[in-house]
Structure 1
Amino acid sequence: MLMRRGTFDDVPLAELFPQLASADLEAMRVVADAVDAVRAREDVPQWEWAPGHALCPGPQPGAAVVLMANVIVNASGGDQLEFWVQVFWTDQGQLAVNAAVNVACWCETDHATHDIDEFTRIVDETSLAQAFEAGSERLIGWLADPHNADYWRSRAALPPR
């Protein structure tokens, strides 16, 4: 599915989440502004969204991302960290929010990357606005932690670079 990109102001929230009240949409905007505020100065705030995933595709293999922010941080030693928060449809056709920290793999068997810390909240358990806020708060907290990929690898008992 083709993803569109732009600032959060460009995201057609009412089109992506037509079931949400305007207060919930505004709450999501406030949270997105907080995410964008903690990005590095040189990181242009970009969000991605897929209008074709606005409606539930039903149970399917693989998640269908509706909205996401991906923050890539150049870490010490030429390494990089990837942080994200996303709203997606699960394999079972449930709307959910996921946030994660991702690092490159330096294991003997190359796994490519590893999710170090991950947060997922199914929207049935809470509102989308509340789940988005919780995932975004995690992302904001992670961005305040050291920008050293080996710090994150050690948290997951992975080999250093």
Structure 2
Amino acid sequence: MKRGAFDDVPLTTLFPGLSPAGVESLKDGAGAVDASRANEAGPEWEWEWALAYAVFPGPQPGTPIILGLDVVEHADGSDQMEFLLQVVWADLGRLAVDAAVNVACWCETDHATHDVDVFSHAVADVALLPQAFRAGAVRLKGWLVDPRDADYWRAKAGLPARRPG
């Protein structure tokens, strides 16, 4: 994956057939997310650098990520949570916009992480991608203003609280 500012993302290469208005809509959505993080280090968007996934790569293990942002929060060196916004290939060659808040697991059985709030929207056509991306960006922006405390999110999802030290 390549990293940089959203303006560096080759949108029309990643999403062939995206209209100029669609490109501007994606930029507006990303700009809103970036603005909500204005007091932090510059946001680093990631995209498929080899552009191998600009065309559906066919069924394979995992979810091929085309474009995304991962905001990681650490607390006390022993806890972590993430806020994600991604454009991925879904099944049958459709694009999807996924967003999530996930937290480190403190269950008796270590599950590694838990998604505690999720947004997922599959799009049948690249023309619908901007609308789905903006909806995911709005969701992410809302999460970023909620408490950025993994224990808050665990309680909201009914998960076990972090164990002391």
> TM-score, normalization: structure 1?
0.92
SS in 1 for 2:12: helix
Give the structure 2 partner of residue 43 of structure 1: 41
Tell me which stretches of 4 or more aligned residues in structure 1 moved more than 3 Å.
74-78
SS class of match (1:53): coil
Cα RMSD (Å): 1.7
Q: Flag structure 1 segments of 5+ consecutive residues without an equivalent.
A: none
Distance in 2 between residues matched to 1:160 and 1:77, nearest whole Å: 16
What's 1:142 paired with?
A: 143
Question: What letter corresponds to residue 151 of structure 1 in structure 2?
Answer: Y
1:92 alignment partner AA: L
Q: Cα–Cα, structure 1 residues 62 and 78, in superposed 2: closer, same or farther, change >3 Å? A: closer
CA distance in 1, matches of 2:110, 2:3: 31
Match runs of 1:16-55 below 5 Å: 16-39=14-37, 41-50=39-48, 51-55=51-55
Unaligned runs of 5+ in 2: none
Contact 1:49 / 1:68 at 8 angstroms: preserved in 2?
A: yes
Q: Deviations for 1:25-73, whole angstroms, at most 9, x for unmatched residues?
A: 0110011011111116233210000021111112333211000011112
Aligned to 2:158: 157
Please, which moves more after superposition, 69-78 or 98-107?
A: 69-78
Cα deviation 1:104-140 (Å, max 9, x = unaligned)? 0000000111111001000128800000001111100
What CA deviation, in whole Å up to 9, does each residue of 1:64-86 have, x standing for no partner?
Answer: 10000111123478533200100
Secondary structure of the residue aligned to 1:30 is helix
User: Within 1, Cα distance between the matches of 2:62 and 2:80?
Assistant: 26
Q: Which amino acid aligns with 1:13?
A: L
Distance in 2 between the 1:62 and 1:91 partners?
A: 11
1:99 CA drift (Å): 0.2
Sequence identity of aligned pairs in percent? 58
**1:62–1:90 Cα contact (<8 Å) kept:** no
Contact 1:105 1:113 in 2 (8 A): yes
Match of 1:73 in 2: 73
